[in-house]
């Protein structure tokens, strides 16, 4: 049975208009309905109460209009408040649910609260109903505000991840373009100048001009070497041969430049994966080795590269002095943070573990659509 048991409006002396609270009261006792309405009326709450006493009428009432709160007795003819809650809890944006009942025992009260019901009140304490209703509405609104904030945060994080991926893609494209220009334009021009200076040095008799030509030739060799290093740092051509070959080259070059013993173990000669995954993994290895140079004071580095079980896993370990516990939280610590963003942009994750005096381990794990395996190789 569905009944509108009346509404109460704020007294005339109230200056600010109040929003009418629509309450669905599930109760089969006319006396208890009246007591609840009177308690809310005396508190000054502006309420419109709709009464329901049959289970099949509850869904229709909820479909017919919006309610700010559901108030329910526990024991009703043929059903209980838990049956009502089962109908309500799966509805999107359902209102808070308050149990107003006689003595049900502490165990039953705890049980209904565990089910997710907002609050409960014994009918013997019905004068506290306005406080319970107000508190349930405040808690419900705070929960909704938190859910909205979380949803907005998720949208913001997704947009930030998309922007990060776009920026990284743009940066890699720009790196490739600059590296190509250095190779084709600057490198070609410097090489031509080198041939001309070499000709001048060969065809000039001993003297000041000859010495100047030799000095210029030496400086030009240094410029060619610098342009080559810059080009390789921007994007090594060996990356076009695949990730394994690129990391092999990176490890050899690192060992040759630093004198630090570097060992690479790969699970396959070649690994079939998307180009963006290869670039991210290469940059992780590059940044990890750069950190070894800057901070580790290590004598040995080990790189493990695996494409087993549907994941690309890159691990760079050193035996250096390790990182201080707060090193990654420093405001200027952008290298590892940038790597973390890169890896997350392709649904992977980055883990950095370190203890002072016991070295550092950088591990990147990236999901792969499929895995291609070949015999192990060692460097």
All residues at 6 or more sequence positions from 17 whose CB lies less than 8 Å from its CB, including other chains: 10
State yes or no: pLDDT of 12 exceeds 50.
no
The token duo for 92 is 């999107």
What are the extents of the domains in the chain? 2-148, 239-379
CATH fold of 239-379: Heat Shock Protein 90 (3.30.565)
State yes or no: pLDDT of 148 exceeds 80.
yes
What's the pLDDT score for residue 13?
46
| C-alpha distances in Å from residue 65, one per residue of 40, 61, 160, 236, 379 | 21, 7, 39, 66, 72
Rounded Cα–Cα distance for residues 60 and 56 (Å): 7
State yes or no: pLDDT of 181 exceeds 90.
no
Rounded Cα–Cα distance for residues 227 and 242 (Å): 23
Q: Considering the chain, what percentage of its residues have pLDDT values greater than 70?
A: 89
What's the pLDDT score for residue 375?
41
What's the pLDDT score for residue 152?
92
State yes or no: pLDDT of 265 exceeds 80.
yes
What's the pLDDT score for residue 328?
60
What number is the average pLDDT over the span 149-165? 85
Q: What DSSP line would sit under 329-350, residue for residue? A: GSTT--HHHHHHHHHHHTT-EE
CATH class of 2-148: alpha beta
Please state the separation of Cα 85 from the chain's center in Å.
Answer: 34
pTM for the whole thing? Answer: 0.54
State yes or no: pLDDT of 225 exceeds 80.
yes
Rounded Cα–Cα distance for residues 48 and 23 (Å): 6
> What mean pLDDT value characterizes the chain?
84
State yes or no: pLDDT of 302 exceeds 50.
yes
């Amino acid at each position: 049975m569905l009944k509108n048991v009346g509404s109460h409006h704020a007294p005339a002396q109230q200056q600010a208009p109040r929003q009418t609270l629509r309450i669905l009261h599930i109760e089969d006792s006319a006396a208890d309905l009246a007591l609840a309405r009177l308690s809310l009326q005396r508190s000054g709450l502006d309420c419109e109460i709709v009464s329901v006493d049959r289970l099949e009428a509850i869904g229709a009432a909820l479909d017919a209009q919006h309610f700010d709160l559901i108030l329910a007795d526990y024991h009703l003819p043929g059903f209980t408040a838990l049956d009502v809650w089962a109908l309500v809890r799966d509805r999107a944006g359902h209102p808070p649910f308050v149990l107003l009942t006689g003595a049900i025992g502490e165990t039953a009260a705890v049980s209904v609260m565990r089910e997710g019901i907002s609050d409960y009140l014994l009918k013997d304490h019905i004068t506290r109903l306005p406080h319970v209703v107000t508190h349930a509405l405040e808690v419900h609104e705070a929960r909704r505000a938190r859910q909205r904030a979380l949803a907005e945060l998720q949208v913001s994080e997704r947009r930030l991840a998309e922007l990060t991926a776009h920026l990284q893609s743009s940066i890699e494209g720009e790196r490739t373009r600059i590296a190509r220009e250095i190779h084709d334009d600057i490198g070609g021009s410097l090489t031509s100048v080198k041939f001309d200076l070499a000709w001048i040095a060969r065809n000039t008799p001993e003297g000041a001009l000859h010495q100047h030509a030799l000095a210029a030739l030496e400086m030009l060799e240094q410029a060619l070497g610098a342009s080559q290093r810059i080009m390789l740092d921007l994007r090594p051509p060996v990356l076009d041969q695949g990730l394994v070959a690129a990391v092999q080259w990176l490890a050899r070059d690192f060992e040759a430049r630093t004198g630090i013993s570097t060992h690479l173990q790969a699970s396959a000669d070649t690994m079939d994966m998307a180009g963006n995954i290869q670039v991210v993994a290469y940059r992780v290895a590059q940044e990890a080795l750069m950190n070894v140079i800057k901070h580790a004071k290590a004598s040995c580095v080990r790189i493990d590269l695996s494409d087993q079980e549907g994941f690309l896993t890159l691990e760079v370990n050193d035996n250096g002095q390790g990182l201080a516990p707060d090193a990654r939280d420093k405001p200027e610590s952008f290298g590892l943070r940038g790597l973390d963003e890169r890896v997350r942009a392709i649904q992977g994750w980055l883990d950095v573990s370190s203890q002072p005096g016991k070295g550092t381990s950088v591990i990147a794990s990236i999901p792969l659509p499929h895995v291609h395996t070949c015999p192990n190789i060692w460097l």
